[in-house]
Structure 1
Amino acid sequence: MFKNFVSVVILFLSFCSLQAQELVSPNGNFKIKFALANDGTPSYQLFYKNKEVVKPSKLGLELQKDAKSLLNDFKIVEAKESTFDETWKPVWGEENSIQNHYNELAIRLKQNTTDRDIIIKFRLFNEGLGFRYEFPEQKNLTYFIVKEERTEFAMTGNHTAFWIPGDYDTQEYDYTESKLSEIRGLFKKAVTDNASQKQFSDTGVQTSLMMKTADGLYINIHEAALINYSCMHLNLDDKNFVFQSHLTPDAKGNKGYLQTPCVSPWRTIIVSDDARDVLASRMTLNLNEPSKIEDTSWIKPVKYVGVWWEMITGRSSWAYTDEVPSVHLGVTDFTKTKPNGKHAANTKHVKEYIDFAALHGFDGVLVEGWNEGWEDWFGHEKDYVFDFVTPYPDFDVKGIHEYAKSKGIKMIMHHETSGSTRNYERHLDKAFKFMNDNGYEAAKTGYVGNILPLGEHHYSQSILNHYQYVVEKAADYKIMINAHEAVRPTGICRTYPNMIGNEAARGTEFQAFGGSKANHTTILPFTRLMGGPMDYTPGIFETNISKVNPGNNSQVNTTLANQLGLYVVMYSPLQMAADLPENYNRFLDAFQFIKDVPVDWATSKYLEAEPGYYLTIARKDKKSNDWYVGNSNGYNARTATINMDFLEKGKKYEATIYADAENADYKTNPQAYKITKQKVTNKTKLQLKTAAGGGFGISIKEIK
């Protein structure tokens, strides 16, 4: 009798230990607890330095047309722990090498009434948590439709958040700083006009979401490896401060179509008591697979200029003529129309940009508006809008290619789809072959307007699969992709490093559409850039847009020195000097910083940071011993302290400092800057005043 009782106790204790699992990060700072409730509902809890960061939060998926969803009635059948530690080298990036070190807990669950298996896999890094759902191949779960993912992120209080409205079609919003409880009341004001947009809830926000707790913890929620799935937003229960995942639907309202074996994207939570650690995290990249492109020698970081800003400001036109009310490709004869005199993508003008790029050491030139169809490209949900191979009569494709090649300049082709994903795929092979034949090594893709087929969204599963298809097809032709208006990146550039740039946020163009908030670029590195680099297109020197186009009274809400600092702050292997050549010629001394600053780095140091207020970053050039420092400042003028201890001991350097002048202000005196030089060592500490909306750039070169 006693022996039987002992056996029952041992079995009971074994069952209890299996029902609750714990995992600790390699450095011991993080701990997760996994548990099953009495009804078999899985949940997790996250701690940082013994402090609760995420309260017990439910996990699971609700299925469409299925009597039994993957929400409860589970038992744990296996729990496996493992450790992984490697160092890998990115093709391009913020450093030469990245450590990928985590402890893993894989919990296999079986649903009692359906005999279905799922695995919830947790990876704890030294900077946070990644977890995902895995669906093994099995008889009782093959094809299934996701009605909604029910992942929760239960916050411990009414945190301060830096958020943009949850939207199925755009991230091109200014950020709002508020308490979680205030999101509902501020939501309508936060929604501003865009070419395509669809909100789902007045407490819905987008990832990457940055928060700060009352006791000084920084929390970032995002996702990684978003492939063959729908983009995740967060819907807030603002009474209990619980976020629940909200996936982007398709035209039918379904959130995803899956076939086992398959996996979800990783859900990520990065936490620190130092904001600089959030910026330094490479967890998102580490949760993606290694490069699938074996030969990456053709993938090169690019600094470029382009025929773009003059159209954005309204000074010039993408369209060739004003005489054609509608275009029928292959039928409309543009040689018989009268040019409007404003078409910027003409041979003579493009050659002027090529000359400017060659004179100042840039790698490439982007040209928008070169191809037929711009007369009626937007607002008509038009399917066959561009063919991506037919130039306007005034754009000599071969002649420009030969001229650029003679000057050592690479041309960047623009592929605007007007949201017609079917049409782009219809022409894709022909378009990429056309690029190969004419010496174009990179394409800027665009998805302005509502997505076709109608009813789909920019962030739904099938459209995300389209973006992925374009990147993979481009790799077949050795073409780099810079996607605009596509989904925000989630580290996939590790797997496909030809995805050299993305927009997917409110970029510089909005400075010509009425302006962005003066602290915008103090937030973006903590939000949008957590998933990958942004083609932000900085470098605007003429901040009064009416001086470029008298009909546009917009103001760039930064100082000129801030624009220089962005080349370091807003990391990208694809950097544009976005202003007009004539404006750079007016400020050649300041333009020197843009000419000098690299686009590929050996290491990066985060010197000071507070989301929404300021950040200062130092980066070392991959090809030399030179360092560059960039700062972006928010609304409040302040003094930045720069400790130069990142420099090599025993060596002397000369620092060229491009800073705000004493009387600089983004509203009243944005072009006031000063340039000074001084000798520095690793013991030097600089103090630099930054204006409201200001910043600085510093180039540091070794004295030999």
Structure 2
Amino acid sequence: MKSFGIILAFFLITSSGHAQELKSPNGALSMQFLIETNGIPTYKLSYKNKTVIKTSRLGLELKNDKTSLVNDFVISNTETATFDDTWQPVWGEVKDIRNHYNELAVTLKQQETERRIIIRFRLFDDGLGFRYEFPMQKNLVYFIIKEEKTQFAMAGDHTAFWIPGDYDTQEYDYTESKLSEIRGFSEKAITENLSQTSFSPTGVQTSLMMKTDNGLYINLHEAALINYSCMHLNLDDENMIFESWLTPDAKGDKGYMQAPSNTPWRTVLVSDDARDILASKMTLNLNEPSAIDDTSWIKPVKYIGVWWEMITGKSSWAYTDELPAVQLGITDYSKVKPNTTHAANNTKVKRYIDFASKHGFDAVLVEGWNEGWEDWFGHSKDNVFDFVTPYPDFDVEEIHAYAQSKGVKMMMHHETSSSVRNYERHMDKAYQFMKDHGYDAVKSGYVGDILPRGENHYSQWIVNHYQYALEKAADYKIMVNAHEAVRPTGISRTYPNLIGNESARGTEYQAFGGSKPNHVTVLPFTRLIGGPMDYTPGIFEMDISKFSPNNNSHVNSTIANQLALYVTMYSPLQMAADLPEHYERFMDAFQFIKDVGMDWDESHYLEAEPGHYLTVARKEKNTGNWFVGNVNGNEIRTSKIAFNFLEKGKKYKATIYADAKDAHYKTNPQAYTISTKTITSTSKLSQRSVAGGGYAISIQEIK
């Protein structure tokens, strides 16, 4: 199913004076483009005759240029088209993705300078994407962006789920408030992080989720962030207008451009049903098809790892406590006394490999295996790791052979300490080292302030580094799971070896004081809009002090909630993050983690309300098994679902992992029940979920 071309039909685009109107394929969304007084380009958007975006300005302010790209424009040409195609992702929530939109490309000419830009709009049934394009021309070749001036004028004081605008981190709990309350909440919303740079008391990050008083769900984000700075939003809270705010580099510049080129897409998802926001594939569709011809080596991964015990303080990354400082190639670790807490040792890693092999996991991640952890953070250190030299107690060859004998892969860990120049210096050697020792996937990290000094995690130069690392990994047939990198924008369609990111507040923060119980009911509406997250779920021991005496943190979740995350937090990369000995205490519940799929033919969003609850059903690829997950927010709730997604005329066995009656995320998180029942496509379920709780269901056909 495919068609593309110039469309003359009146239903697609109409002209009224200088206004151009574009409708979505189903007609529910309508976008109007207009050149206003002084030649300022504007747009507005409505959904089923309800205003989504009021008249909003478009343009870019240039540096060292008397005439910016913000006004004095006239329309020199318009082109319209429609596109309808279906493609299959390498991995994903569904087997087939339809890419169907109507398009309007407006060529603008700046009268004084004779510069030309194109603003390209694509209107889907679930939202709008638009971007700026800069054709080859003599009057606009090299230019520096001082600020992008894209506006999103809201039609009211909406309820928003937001995190503070920050150039370096998205690792915040979400705040729910009215737009007018963002300024008042901003100081409290900014919590401590190892590297952070907030820029405004009304600045927020995308993906920004909102709900209007008249029942619309609106999401603002971007797609295809390539060779450009990450976009944030700054709110004029008197007029309820968001304006784009790009991440600056060390000099304060926000983008170095050379025509021909284009910006990322600016996106607006909208529906009167929250489930449509979650089901949308518009962000992926605005990215280019796969740049990797042979994707047979890219496969979903279910893994365990030597990680949680270090995050919680039970064990350490460092090999010794004797050295105040170390230097690559100079420090001789054979002459120092090892501590007794270093986790990445042969004996312990083999224990994890054995556990993975016994329970059918694909891989084992080991952090802290390589020299340099004694002084890796906080010293603005360039030559921090070489990514190939192990500590004396970690034998790479021995571990590789042992894992191979058990049918388990090893997953590499590259913590860069945000020294990106150092990582690029060692990257080819590090990736080749991985291939030589059977590592097919890498978890990279960018903790701390960026080197070169003064750069930000989300500026153009650093965004280009993340892309370079991803493309270089593809050359070596390596899958990437990048932590602390820029939040994803659908790049995984073009580079499907990007099988995961962190780029948000993950499970590790449950060991740093905890996250809000409803955090996981917000993330699918925000962070996951751009791509899957390595959230690292599966924690069964919630009282961390029981195994790490100096840590009094508590995981604000029930076990049933932790199981449900494998369904609600979609990712082709899923970790069982807790310690093996904790799983061995609850093997009946652990069975769900062993069984749950990671790659899907179908996904159905059964219930959804941002910040409150989410229920998802997914059909596993190749097996036909179904899995359902429900995560609940701050209040006890009864979830009511129908199983009409099942095939008619067949019977299924449903195994239900649910909160016990007396379960509570804080006082009784390990209370759960497991029951089985026979269901069909006509069956219904009414299931109670406690605060911070939920349920998970495994469904198999009875043959």
Question: Shared topology, TM-score over 0.5?
Answer: yes
Deviation at 1:642, TM superposition (A): 1.3
1:371-382 to structure 2, matched below 5 A, reads: 371-382=370-381
SS of 1:586 mapped into structure 2: coil
Kindly indicate whether the alpha-carbon contact (under 8 Å) linking 1:18 and 1:76 is maintained by their aligned counterparts in 2.
no
- Residue matched to 1:20: 19
Matched letter for residue 562 of structure 1: N
Q: Distance in 1 between matches of 2:17 and 2:154?
A: 26
2:441 aligned with 1:442: yes
- Residue matched to 1:11: none
Kindly indicate whether the alpha-carbon contact (under 8 Å) linking 1:19 and 1:75 is maintained by their aligned counterparts in 2.
no
Deviation at 1:19, TM superposition (A): 2.3
Kindly indicate whether the alpha-carbon contact (under 8 Å) linking 2:538 and 2:578 is maintained by their aligned counterparts in 1.
yes
Deviation at 1:17, TM superposition (A): 4.5
SS of 2:37 mapped into structure 1: coil
Kindly indicate whether the alpha-carbon contact (under 8 Å) linking 1:61 and 1:150 is maintained by their aligned counterparts in 2.
yes
2:237 aligned with 1:269: no
Matched letter for residue 380 of structure 2: E
2:659 aligned with 1:647: no
2:486 aligned with 1:487: yes
Please list the CA deviations of residues 290-324 of structure 1 after superposition, one character each: whole Å capped at 9, or x if unmatched: 00000000001000000000000000000000011
Matched letter for residue 405 of structure 1: Q
Matched letter for residue 157 of structure 1: G
- Residue matched to 1:10: none
- Residue matched to 1:667: 666
Structure 1 segments, 4+ long, off by >6 Å, are none
- Residue matched to 2:4: none
1:125-204 to structure 2, matched below 5 A, reads: 125-204=124-203
The percent identity for this pair of structures is 72
Q: Distance in 2 between matches of 1:486 and 1:625?
A: 35
Please give the TM-score of this superposition, normalised by the length of structure 2.
Answer: 0.98
Q: Distance in 1 between matches of 2:376 and 2:408?
A: 29
Matched letter for residue 171 of structure 2: E
Matched letter for residue 539 of structure 1: G
Matched letter for residue 678 of structure 1: K
How has the CA–CA distance of structure 1 residues 16 and 112 changed in structure 2, closer, same or farther, with 3 Å as cutoff? farther
Matched letter for residue 398 of structure 1: E
Kindly indicate whether the alpha-carbon contact (under 8 Å) linking 2:15 and 2:21 is maintained by their aligned counterparts in 1.
no
- Residue matched to 1:570: 569
- Residue matched to 1:338: 337
2:523 aligned with 1:524: yes
SS of 2:583 mapped into structure 1: helix
1:565-604 to structure 2, matched below 5 A, reads: 565-604=564-603
Kindly indicate whether the alpha-carbon contact (under 8 Å) linking 1:161 and 1:210 is maintained by their aligned counterparts in 2.
yes
Matched letter for residue 121 of structure 2: F
How many residue pairs match? The answer is: 690
Kindly indicate whether the alpha-carbon contact (under 8 Å) linking 1:314 and 1:552 is maintained by their aligned counterparts in 2.
yes
Kindly indicate whether the alpha-carbon contact (under 8 Å) linking 2:486 and 2:503 is maintained by their aligned counterparts in 1.
yes
2:273 aligned with 1:244: no
Deviation at 1:472, TM superposition (A): 0.1
Deviation at 1:54, TM superposition (A): 0.4
Q: Distance in 2 between matches of 1:199 and 1:478?
A: 37
- Residue matched to 1:636: 635
Deviation at 1:667, TM superposition (A): 1.2
SS of 1:39 mapped into structure 2: helix
Matched letter for residue 495 of structure 2: Y
Q: Distance in 2 between matches of 1:667 and 1:573?
A: 30
2:510 aligned with 1:511: yes
Q: Distance in 1 between matches of 2:653 and 2:280?
A: 30
Q: Distance in 1 between matches of 2:452 and 2:462?
A: 10
Please list the CA deviations of residues 158-214 of structure 1 after superposition, one character each: whole Å capped at 9, or x if unmatched: 000000000000000000000000000000000000010000000000000000000
Q: Distance in 1 between matches of 2:372 and 2:550?
A: 25
Deviation at 1:433, TM superposition (A): 0.5
- Residue matched to 2:401: 402
Kindly indicate whether the alpha-carbon contact (under 8 Å) linking 1:442 and 1:481 is maintained by their aligned counterparts in 2.
yes
Q: Distance in 1 between matches of 2:641 and 2:147?
A: 47
Matched letter for residue 505 of structure 1: A
- Residue matched to 1:3: none
Kindly indicate whether the alpha-carbon contact (under 8 Å) linking 2:357 and 2:406 is maintained by their aligned counterparts in 1.
yes
SS of 2:56 mapped into structure 1: strand
- Residue matched to 2:558: 559
Matched letter for residue 360 of structure 1: H
Matched letter for residue 486 of structure 1: A
Please list the CA deviations of residues 347-368 of structure 1 after superposition, one character each: whole Å capped at 9, or x if unmatched: 1110110000000000000000
SS of 2:146 mapped into structure 1: strand
- Residue matched to 2:701: 702
2:615 aligned with 1:616: yes
Matched letter for residue 429 of structure 2: K
Kindly indicate whether the alpha-carbon contact (under 8 Å) linking 2:90 and 2:496 is maintained by their aligned counterparts in 1.
yes
Matched letter for residue 131 of structure 1: F
Kindly indicate whether the alpha-carbon contact (under 8 Å) linking 1:411 and 1:439 is maintained by their aligned counterparts in 2.
yes
- Residue matched to 1:6: none
Kindly indicate whether the alpha-carbon contact (under 8 Å) linking 1:206 and 1:234 is maintained by their aligned counterparts in 2.
yes
- Residue matched to 2:356: 357
SS of 1:618 mapped into structure 2: strand
Q: Distance in 2 between matches of 1:555 and 1:522?
A: 19
Deviation at 1:609, TM superposition (A): 0.3
Kindly indicate whether the alpha-carbon contact (under 8 Å) linking 1:383 and 1:452 is maintained by their aligned counterparts in 2.
yes
- Residue matched to 2:9: none
Which range moves more in the overlay, 18-27 or 80-89? 18-27
Contiguous gaps of at least 5 residues in structure 2: 1-13
2:703 aligned with 1:692: no
2:257 aligned with 1:253: no
- Residue matched to 1:288: 287
SS of 2:400 mapped into structure 1: helix
Please list the CA deviations of residues 232-279 of structure 1 after superposition, one character each: whole Å capped at 9, or x if unmatched: 000000011000000000000000000000000000000000000000
Q: What RMSD over aligned residues (CA atoms) do the two structures have, in Å?
A: 0.8
- Residue matched to 2:452: 453
SS of 2:427 mapped into structure 1: helix
Q: Distance in 2 between matches of 1:604 and 1:17?
A: 41
Please give the TM-score of this superposition, normalised by the length of structure 1.
Answer: 0.98
Please list the CA deviations of residues 499-530 of structure 1 after superposition, one character each: whole Å capped at 9, or x if unmatched: 01000000000000000000000000000000
2:216 aligned with 1:217: yes
Kindly indicate whether the alpha-carbon contact (under 8 Å) linking 1:18 and 1:79 is maintained by their aligned counterparts in 2.
no
Matched letter for residue 227 of structure 2: N
SS of 2:65 mapped into structure 1: coil
Please list the CA deviations of residues 374-417 of structure 1 after superposition, one character each: whole Å capped at 9, or x if unmatched: 00000111000000000000000011011111111110000000
